[in-house]
Chains A and B, each alone.
Chain A
Amino acid sequence: MRSIYLILSREVYTRVKTKQFWILSILGPLLMSAIVIVPILITKMDESVQTIWVQDDAHLWNQTLPSKERLILIPAPLKGKALIDSLAQDENLGLLTITPEVFGKDPGKGLKFTSQSPMSMNVEDYLKENIAKTIEDKKLEENGVTRSKLDSLKTPDFEMTSVKPEGSSQSSEKAFGLATAGSMLMYFFILIYGMQVLRGVSEEKSNRIMEVLISSVQPFQLMMGKILGIAATALLQFLIWIGLTVLVISIAIPAFMGDSAPATASAAPSSISPDAFSAMADVPGFLLVFFFYFIFGFLTYAALFAAIGSAVDQEQDAQQLTFPVTLPIIVAFLLAQTAVAQPHSATAFWSSMIPLTAPVVMMARFAYDAVAPWELALSMVTMVLSFVFFTYVSARIYRIGVLMYGKKVTLKEIARWAFKK
């Protein structure tokens, strides 16, 4: 045990000491926060005060111009050359000309916007919506129907709520956020850190320090020490990510948003909306399940990566041998997309039972609360069994692989090492 601990500590120490670790630790949460914050920021940036002079030759608005916060609409105070000069001098000034053609088949033909800078998307959407409504109102009036009458005839907007038999409700938007974030993180961490195991093993081999090491500790101890050390590093990084992301978002959102934060934030077009993060806070169960699958999923894959790393002389030779190991995890990621759409489907069920795809797919299903307790228990048991099995097989390969030099190994040979006496 002492040897495993020593090897584990060295792995953590040498990795945490590197610049890459800290760059990734800081960049990751920044990127994740950016997904949430950038759309909000962009919306925010659009909202500098803009003035639009309106020349309403069609009498569309009848002098009651629809100004709003940060957008001032006033009747054009100037004409002719003076008007053109003013437009040329002020970037934030625009002129909207409305001609009677606006009541025609293509209202766009009756609208002209003149300005130094083009109209922002937000302003354009707002004006289009307003103009369309005004035209509609006028047409309704001509036909003797009032707006309130029409509204009372329309079916109002409505939302679906999923309710569990016990009665508690769950927003599917939150579940979508959790499912996507959970399965993506699982995929990302297993792949990135699994490759680090491969690299670490083949580095020890190509450095030729391997022989010194295995004359001091048993190959199994060396392999486990390395895998556990890298798992600990990954967990540490994951915790830094979660901590920093929560910190950045909780500081950034109030800072950027002021009082209007909640309204705009939920409108941000992102799968990981702040809603999802608040949801994460109410589901510690999700985190527990995440950690379980992360630990056993990682250990299973890491053992396989270690076996591949031990079989090659140099990391570059590993590529074609790595494919059979990376394939299931990539497939799992794709299956997780299906599971997000249909968490109860047979595909989702089976792929959350098969140990090599379960860690990623289970995150998606669990977020939707689509997993019965017996399913979770069964999947967890198969995870533990697969960890034991793959570690045993990999240790056998590793034991032989680490001493094998100067020979290009095939998968067939590796399989023979695993099962020969």
Chain B
Amino acid sequence: MNLIELRNIHKSFEAHKALNGVSFSIPKGSIFGLLGPNGAGKTTSIRIINQIIAPDEGEVLIEGRPIRREDIQKVGYLPEERGLYKKMNIADQVIYLGQLKGLSKAEATQRCKQWFERFDLQKWWNKHVADLSKGMQQKVQFIATVIHEPDLVILDEPFSGFDPVNAEILKEEILNLKQRGATILFSSHRMESVETLCDSLVMIHQSQVVLSGTTREIRQAHKSSEIELLFEGNTPDWMHQFPINETEDGKRVILPMVDRSVNEWLQMALQSQCTIHSCQELIPGLHEIFIQIVQNSAS
């Protein structure tokens, strides 16, 4: 079951075509990655889902029906450019933003307290944004995004500006949201940051979808059918026809899986006199896959 579905979305700004027939579906309860380099059309897609802008063509469905203005109350959005009021204390802002998303004042205050405790922000309740460290500001912004317990949480470049410790906390919170049943749409230009988190993803390049599916499917589809063997000792004669590198960890050879399977290659290696450290099938990361796709489309 898909929570959100984009169908053949087109959007232009003046002469610039920002989205050119983009379609993808976000499965309910999943963590979904929207990937692509800067300027690919990620933020435009997000703004269309958020109904900040309307598409020129195409439609957005939520739970199978066209999205309506009221549905926005069920969405939480953390924009790439973070921002809070400078002259308002942080608790008031969070409560205010919660109220704008439909919470009552009492409810918003109650939840704000819980979140502040969870992130250890209680003593900052009455402080202004300027008094907070950048990491704390990010936490406040995150609370404001999820305080109304949205069904869909949209995070645009969520890790930018987070130190490793806070990034880890954020990751945990994202997984918590998923466990609670929320669907998370996650946008980034840094593929490796989302690889481990995303259940499925779509990759946009030059206003078009160039890749989509579950993370596993995509990597399987792009595997190069090669294995990497790390070993020490004598190099068997049969191995000389393949490229061998000397590395710090030992000798490294890449073997094609055309005529032989992994098991067969491993058996041959075991029969020779060398010491095997590791043997693994080479599966490219999303980053490499993306580079590969961009290069292919360029050529």
Contacts of A209 in B (CB 8 A): 83-85
With known contacts A214-B52, A215-B52, A215-B77, A6–B99 Cβ distance under 8 A: yes
B50 contacts A215, CB within 8 Å?
A: yes
Q: Which of A195-220 contact B (CB under 8 A)?
A: 203-204, 207-218
B101's contact among A10, A203, A216, by CB below 8 Å, is which?
Answer: A216
B97 contacts A212, CB within 8 Å?
A: yes
Contacts of B81 in A (CB 8 A): 208, 211
Give min CB distance, A54 to chain B, whole Å. 68
Give min CB distance, B294 to chain A, whole Å. 25
With known contacts A10-B96, A216-B72, A211–B79 Cβ distance under 8 A: yes
B79 contacts A212, CB within 8 Å?
A: yes
Q: Mark A280-307, 1 if CB is under 8 A from B, else 0.
A: 0000000000000000000000000000
Q: Mark B15-39, 1 if CB is under 8 A from A, else 0.
A: 0000000000000000000000000
Q: Which of B59-105 contact A (CB under 8 A)?
A: 69, 72-73, 75, 77, 79, 81-88, 96-97, 99-101
Contacts of A203 in B (CB 8 A): 86
Asked if B221 CB lies within 8 Å of chain A CBs, one says: no
Asked if A242 CB lies within 8 Å of chain B CBs, one says: no
Asked if B144 CB lies within 8 Å of chain A CBs, one says: yes
B75 contacts A215, CB within 8 Å?
A: yes
Output the nearest chain A residue to B76 by Cβ-Cβ distance: A215
A216's contact among B84, B85, B97, by CB below 8 Å, is which?
Answer: B97
Asked if A278 CB lies within 8 Å of chain B CBs, one says: no
Q: A-B pairs with the 9 shortest C-beta distances?
A: A208-B83, A209-B83, A216-B100, A211-B79, A215-B77, A208-B81, A207-B83, A215-B50, A6-B99
A403 contacts B53, CB within 8 Å?
A: yes
Contacts of A10 in B (CB 8 A): 88, 96
With known contacts A6-B100, A14-B87, A207-B84, A212–B69 Cβ distance under 8 A: no
B100's contact among A3, A204, A208, A210, by CB below 8 Å, is which?
Answer: A3
Give min CB distance, A313 to chain B, whole Å. 12
A207 contacts B85, CB within 8 Å?
A: yes
- How many B residues have CB within 8 A of the partner chain? 26
B88's contact among A6, A14, A216, A217, by CB below 8 Å, is which?
Answer: A14
CA distance A98 to B77 in the complex (A): 91
B144 contacts A6, CB within 8 Å?
A: no
Please list the residues of chain A having a beta carbon within 8 angstroms of any beta carbon in chain B.
Answer: 3, 6-7, 10, 14, 18, 203-204, 207-218, 403
Give min CB distance, A8 to chain B, whole Å. 12
B96 contacts A6, CB within 8 Å?
A: yes
B96 contacts A215, CB within 8 Å?
A: no
A212 contacts B96, CB within 8 Å?
A: no
Contacts of A211 in B (CB 8 A): 52, 77, 79, 81, 83
CA distance A209 to B77 in the complex (A): 11
A215 contacts B72, CB within 8 Å?
A: yes
CA distance A141 to B83 in the complex (A): 90
Output the nearest chain A residue to B145 by Cβ-Cβ distance: A212
Q: Select the residue from A6, A204, A211 with max chain B CB neighbours within 10 A.
A: A211
A218's contact among B69, B75, B82, B84, by CB below 8 Å, is which?
Answer: B69
Q: Which of B83-129 contact A (CB under 8 A)?
A: 83-88, 96-97, 99-101
CA distance A209 to B81 in the complex (A): 8
Contacts of B73 in A (CB 8 A): 216
CA distance A6 to B108 in the complex (A): 13
CA distance A217 to B96 in the complex (A): 12
B82 contacts A208, CB within 8 Å?
A: yes
CA distance A265 to B73 in the complex (A): 62
Cross-chain pairs A/B with CB under 8 angstroms, 13 sampled = A6-B96, A6-B99, A207-B83, A208-B81, A208-B82, A209-B85, A211-B79, A212-B77, A212-B79, A212-B97, A214-B52, A215-B72, A218-B69
Output the nearest chain A residue to B69 by Cβ-Cβ distance: A218
B84 contacts A213, CB within 8 Å?
A: no
CA distance A17 to B254 in the complex (A): 70
Contacts of A214 in B (CB 8 A): 52
